[in-house]
Amino acid sequence: MRGLMQDWSLTVDRIIDHAARVHATREVITRRTDGTIHRTDYATIRHRAKRVSAALRKIGIGLGDRVATLAWNSERHMECWYGAMGIGAVLHTLNPRLHPDQLAWISHDAGSRILILDTSFIGLIETVREQLPFEHYIVIADAQTLPDNSLDAMPYEEWIAGADDAPEWGGFDEKTACGLCYTSGTTGNPKGVLYSHRSNVLVSLMALGKGALGIAPDDIVMPIVPMFHANAWALAFAAPAAGAKLVMPGGQLDGASVFELLDKERVTFAAAVPTVWLSLLHHLRQHGLALPWLRRVVIGGAALPVAILRAFEEDYDVEVVHAWGMTETSPIGTIGGVPAALAQADEATHVAQQLKQGRPPFGVELRITDENGRDLPWDGASPGRLMVRGFAVAGAYFNGAGGEILDEHGFFDTGDMATIDTHGTMQITDRAKDVIKSGGEWISSIEIENITLSHPAIANAAAIGVPHPKWDERPLLVVELRSGHSIGADELRAHLDGRIARWWMPDEYVFLNAIPLGATGKVNKAALRKIIRNR
């Protein structure tokens, strides 16, 4: 017997329809590439997104066609998302921090005919234009602000002004492809993760839950995490779904610029990777500033260092939510916090729990397995390969890359190593390929890095394994000092001593002016290993 409820398909166009109807005048603020602040609202975004749909239709784009964007977080980028997705086209976000050759490779693999880009990326695209498959270039600008270029590009404002009908949205199956995002994989070719409308709607609803990101209508949400990084962690869907005000920071993600928006726009909720937060905290300390409006920050993409946790909670009275996820999980995988069973425990236990990556919300299932695929106990002490299954987890990559990616139970191998404790709380011990294997035992590079980062002179840190004749590998610690600080290996050693096991102590300390970061703002260990090898 079938249920008798309405057939209301889960397509993302309904999110902006809802926001435009119920929260029509709720503001969306953007810091544009020229630094000016632009103010609009959900009703206007929906109206203009319809124009984008019409403009796409005019050049023959429809169901299943890919539409590429190369853009920072902005209201016009959002219009492109909803305009493309609404007519069943697939919005493909390109990451501008990738090498131009990689951008070209990904563009071909994705097969988009059109690229919509910020003015700041014109030069980048011109360098590889010959290798790109695009027939149409649209620059997010108007006729007056469109810079000279060799792309034969059309300004966005003129492009959408020339299309004045308003195509119907939706009407297709909720499992229709909706977005395409390539993994930032440091080895091999990037692989495309193809989100569906259903997975995006469900992950957005999941994000709204209080046990997840808990976004409410009175929130002012700033996704500092870019829209090209795993769906901006669902925030460009979840914020309009909740009716929250949105603050889009554009491309200026340094501490001073982030602070200015947090303060002026009274942001209550923001999300970013640890490197962004480190630079904000540094700016706050340097200038003696406070964060009176900010209530909650989500920190994910890389492990939360204890120094960030303490600074936010103790110095600025901001709640920290540590989250783990990946492009393949849309990206919410686990959400950190102190389980109710430990509410009365001591402060050290609370901190230890908050530093863990957290528990999966409903809709995400986890396993940890040994090298033979057997389940390991949830005892908080047995690290194994982290496997994941759920309604917003990739079942295969675009164009069949990587072949079969699920095990016989339908679980995806995350490539992360983790423990899970009796409370169901997961802790990443390492990326499987970053684990330091010494004398047959594993050393967690993440833990060494976190403890190093709690030293006030350290701006960034990375532990890597280097070959050793007796122990197989030994840890080497690379650090980047804050400007104006100078400490040596002895002080670093003293800082780690007693905080990590004796045999985890790095054999060598290397000081670099800048630790290389990858395309999503995380330490690029592959590049770092190369630097260390070529010293």
Catalytic annotation, pick one of 58, 264, 433, 437: 437
Q: How far apart are CA 335 and CA 376, in angstroms?
A: 21
CB of 336 to ligand AMP, least distance (A): 8
| Interacting span for ligand AMP (CB under 6 A) from 33-41, 170-178, 296-304, 310-318 | 296-304
CB of 67 to ligand AMP, least distance (A): 21
Residue 230 sits in the site that holds ligand AMP (CB under 6 A) = yes
Q: In what order do the strands lie in the sheet with 296-299?
A: 37-41, 27-31, 245-248, 220-223, 269-272, 296-299, 319-325, 332-335
347 is catalytic: no
433 is catalytic: no
Residue 302 sits in the site that holds ligand AMP (CB under 6 A) = yes
Q: Which is nearer to ligand AMP, 303 or 478 (CB)?
A: 303
- The answer to whether 133 touches 110, Cβ cutoff 8 Å, is no
Residues 351-390 interacting with ligand AMP (rule: CB under 6 A): 357
| Interacting span for ligand AMP (CB under 6 A) from 149-157, 325-333, 479-487, 491-499 | 325-333
Q: How far apart are CA 367 and CA 418, in angstroms?
A: 9
Q: What is each CA distance from 510 to 279, 497, 513, in whole angstroms?
A: 22, 17, 10
Question: Minimal CA–CA distance to 166: which of 10, 48, 289?
Answer: 48
Check residue 309 and report its DSSP letter: H
SS3 253: coil
Q: Which is nearer to ligand AMP, 278 or 302 (CB)?
A: 302
437 is catalytic: yes
| Interacting span for ligand AMP (CB under 6 A) from 66-74, 276-284, 413-421, 496-504 | 413-421
Name the strand (E) or helix (H) holding 93: strand 90-93
CB of 218 to ligand AMP, least distance (A): 27
- The answer to whether 88 touches 173, Cβ cutoff 8 Å, is no
CA atoms within 13 A on the CB side of 21: 7
CA atoms within 13 A on the CB side of 28: 29
Q: Which is nearer to ligand AMP, 53 or 95 (CB)?
A: 95
329 is catalytic: no
When binding is defined by CB under 6 A, the residue of 300, 384, 465, 506 that contacts ligand AMP is 300
Q: Which is nearer to ligand AMP, 295 or 431 (CB)?
A: 431
Neighbouring C-beta atoms of residue 149, cutoff 10 Å: 16
Backbone dihedral region of 424: left (phi > 0), alpha (psi from -120 to 50 degrees) or beta?
left
Residue 308 sits in the site that holds ligand AMP (CB under 6 A) = no
When binding is defined by CB under 6 A, the residue of 86, 255, 331, 361 that contacts ligand AMP is 331
Q: Which is nearer to ligand AMP, 30 or 414 (CB)?
A: 414
- Measured over the CA atoms of residue 291, residue 297, residue 302 and residue 305, the dihedral's sign is positive
When binding is defined by CB under 6 A, the residue of 16, 428, 453, 515 that contacts ligand AMP is 428
Residue 301 sits in the site that holds ligand AMP (CB under 6 A) = yes
Residue 326 sits in the site that holds ligand AMP (CB under 6 A) = yes
Residue 416 sits in the site that holds ligand AMP (CB under 6 A) = yes
- The answer to whether 301 touches 71, Cβ cutoff 8 Å, is no
When binding is defined by CB under 6 A, the residue of 53, 73, 119, 184 that contacts ligand AMP is 184
- The residues carrying an active-site annotation are 183, 328, 437, 442
- Where does this chain bind ligand AMP (CB under 6 A)? 183-184, 230, 300-303, 322-327, 331, 357, 414-416, 428, 431, 520
